[in-house]
Amino acid sequence: MNIILFGAPGAGKGTQAKELIKKYEIPQISTGDILRGAIANKTPLGLEAKKLMDQGQLVSDEIVNGLVEARLQEADCEKGFILDGFPRTVAQAEELDKIMKKIGKEIDKVIALEVSDDEIIERITGRRVSKVTGKIYHIKYNPPVDEKLEDLEQRADDNEETVKKRLAVYNEQTAPVLDFYKKQNKVYEIDGAQKLENITKDIIEILEK
């Protein structure tokens, strides 16, 4: 079961991935985690990526693709994996197809969490982090019960302007990836604005078809 979890920032991919890991015991693979791991382990690609990041530059597709290819061949991916946040561009999706062919696998299903931009802005701008416990809350959906409001702060990049910029980049660069997979009949769209447990139920139904 090799799947891609797809959706805008704040669509709930991370939350759903946790549920799927518990159920299917397959790893969630996010490029951020792979990068941090490669840098911590000082692998050749990790060192190259660190150099670029230290200069404030974006890590090239070539490096990201190389890291993904190595990660997908690790033993814990034997039963399958959940890709989260990759591919971000059509070029990366094309490259992923080549990688999968090379390692004798293929992407089975692309689960797209559909959430409106307005809902995402509300979700992200409402997030607050406790300076004391580090717990994450939402002022509307998940307000703190036993913490003082003055101990909560908004992360610098959770403001409306930044969120709108991230959504613009997503809509321009990443949304076309969905069309790429629609041509392969692999896309299953799910209403990402429902209750969490309903989304999980919908995803499991699709995966077990």
Does the active-site annotation cover 166? yes
Query: Of 50, 105, 127, 164, which one is the catalytic site residue?
Result: 127
Which residue of the set 51, 155, 165, 182 is catalytic? 155
- Output the DSSP codes for the chain: -EEEEE--TTSSHHHHHHHHHHHH---EEEHHHHHHHHHHTT-HHHHHHHHHHHTTPPPPHHHHHHHHHHHHTSGGGTT-EEEES---SHHHHHHHHHHHHHTT----EEEEEE--HHHHHHHHHTEEEETTT--EEETTTB--SSS-GGGEE--GGGSHHHHHHHHHHIIIIIHHHHHHHHTTT-EEEEETTS-HHHHHHHHHHHHT-
Q: Which of 88, 105, 164, 201 is catalytic?
A: 88
Which position among 105, 166, 186, 201 bears the catalytic label? Answer: 166
Q: Is 127 a catalytic site residue?
A: yes
Is residue 79 among the annotated active site residues? Answer: no
Is 128 catalytic? The answer is no
**Looking at the annotation, which residues are catalytic?**
13, 88, 127, 155, 166
